[in-house]
Amino acid sequence: MGWRRGDEALAEQIEAAGATCELRPMRLGAAVHLQRSMALTDVVQALASRRAAHGGDARAVIYSSITAALLQPLRRPHAIRFDTIAALSRPGIGGAWQRRRERSVLGRADLLLPLSEVARDAALAAAAPARPEAIVLPGVVEVPDSGASDAPEATAYAANPEKRGLDVLCAAWAAAAPPGARLVVGGIDRAGALRWLSRKGVPEPPGVEFAGVVPRERWTALVAGSRVYVSAARYEDWGAAQMEALAAGTPLVTVPTPGPNVALPLARRLAPELVAADSSAAALAEALRAGLALADDARASYAGAARRLLEPYSDEALRAVVAERVLPALLEGAR
């Protein structure tokens, strides 16, 4: 869902700059059932992306992930947009072929469009000795209109419970939440959450609502109205959910999640006491207590500072980057 929104925003930015843009989504069809491991999932998605791009007559092509570019024929000119690289996100044997393949894929690109400086530096190191041009082009972070009147004290997201650290999140909430406080967890329903927690030996904590898939407008309103947004993620490719919370002015309580996580340094600048000392439930519980105890004036000050830090991620700012840097660099090779 996040990538689809990002693709739509980029297409609008390209068109605002005076160029035309056609979105070509990949279609998995029956192959969706073959996604049983990291290695096979990337094969299935890379082949689907190759089919989606076939037959186009565009002056330039942008692939919206490294996976989408892994099995493409050489097209000139082309760019690759990505939040992370396989060398960071595909450890172990399950990512072996992707890590090997991405070195040449990155090296032959005409333009790299990483979402962060960390992803840019990692990609250029992987592509060496080739030195493709790289322009950092983050995603648009939208500011919600207002918070929901029935918002809980805390919100969190756990569509992938292992990656999002649902077990750590629930253990921390059980330890830190005051009586009667509510935590709404999006992206996973109660049955799926309880199965996961049972495997991890973590009991269901009081006051938690597993909301499943929530319509976007409703979800952003819940986040904007909550006192804190909580993240126990074990790895972040970029940190979209946390960035959306910051855009809403909602204090971010988080573990020090590794990865090309742009939200973490911002959270540390805004309120270091809300960033846990480590990724344990006990450390997150301590940060959560501090976040829930923030006075209204402190929360208002946090919100103002967060929105100023996120100005470079506004649609207006990114339209300028696309028009003044991205399109000239990409279309220069099409002349």
Contacts of 26 (CB under 8 A, 6+ apart): 45, 48, 49, 51, 52, 68
Is 147 domain-assigned? Answer: no
Residue 283: inside a domain, yes or no? yes
**149 occurs within a structural domain:** no
d(CA 106, CA 123) in angstroms, rounded, equals 7
Query: Looking at residue 162, what is its pLDDT?
Result: 94
Residues 153 and 224: beta-carbon distance below 8 Å: no
Residues 167 and 20 grouped into a single domain: no
Q: Are residues 20 and 130 in the same domain?
A: yes
Identify whether 145 is part of a domain. no
pLDDT at 2: 72
Q: Which residue matches tokens 């989606």?
A: 52
Task: Kindly state whether residues 308 and 251 are assigned to the same domain.
Answer: yes
In a shared domain, residues 296 and 321: no
Report, as ranges of residue numbers, the positions in the chain whose pLDDT lies below 50. Answer: none
Q: What is the model's pLDDT at position 55?
A: 85
| 167/241 same-domain check | yes
Return the CATH number at 34: 3.40.50
Q: Same domain for 171 and 260?
A: yes
Query: Is 131 found in the same domain as 249?
Result: no
Whose CA is closest to 167, among 236, 232, 237, 259? 232
Are 314 and 140 in contact, with CB atoms under 8 Å apart? yes
Each residue of 102-146: pLDDT tens digit? 999 999 999 999 999 999 999 999 999 999 999 999 999 887 777
Residue 33's pLDDT is: 67
Do the beta carbons of residue 265 and residue 243 sit within 8 Å?
A: no
Alpha-carbon span 61 to 118, nearest angstrom: 24
Is there a single domain that holds both residue 308 and residue 326?
A: no
Coil vs helix vs strand at 206: coil
Residue whose pair of structure tokens reads 């989504």 in the numeric block? 25
Is 146 inside any structural domain?
Answer: no
The SS3 assignment for 108 reads: helix
Q: What is the span of the domain harbouring residue 275? A: 154-312
In a domain, 144, yes or no: no
Decide: residue 234, CB within 10 A, 0-12 exposed, 13-18 middle, 19+ buried: middle
Assign residue 219 the CATH number of its domain.
3.40.50.2000
Question: Same domain for 180 and 263?
Answer: yes
- Is residue 78 within 8 A of residue 110, CB to CB? The reply is yes
Phi-psi region of 91 (alpha: psi -120 to 50; beta: other; left: phi over 0): beta
Domain identity same for 112 and 181: no
Query: What's the confidence (pLDDT) of residue 37?
Result: 82
Domain count, the chain: 2
Same domain, residue pair 294 and 175: yes
CA distance 117 to 36: 32
The answer as to whether 247 is a domain residue is yes
Specify whether 81 is located in the same domain as 227: no
Specify the pLDDT at position 31: 67
Residue 89 pLDDT: 87
- The pLDDT of residue 29 is 80
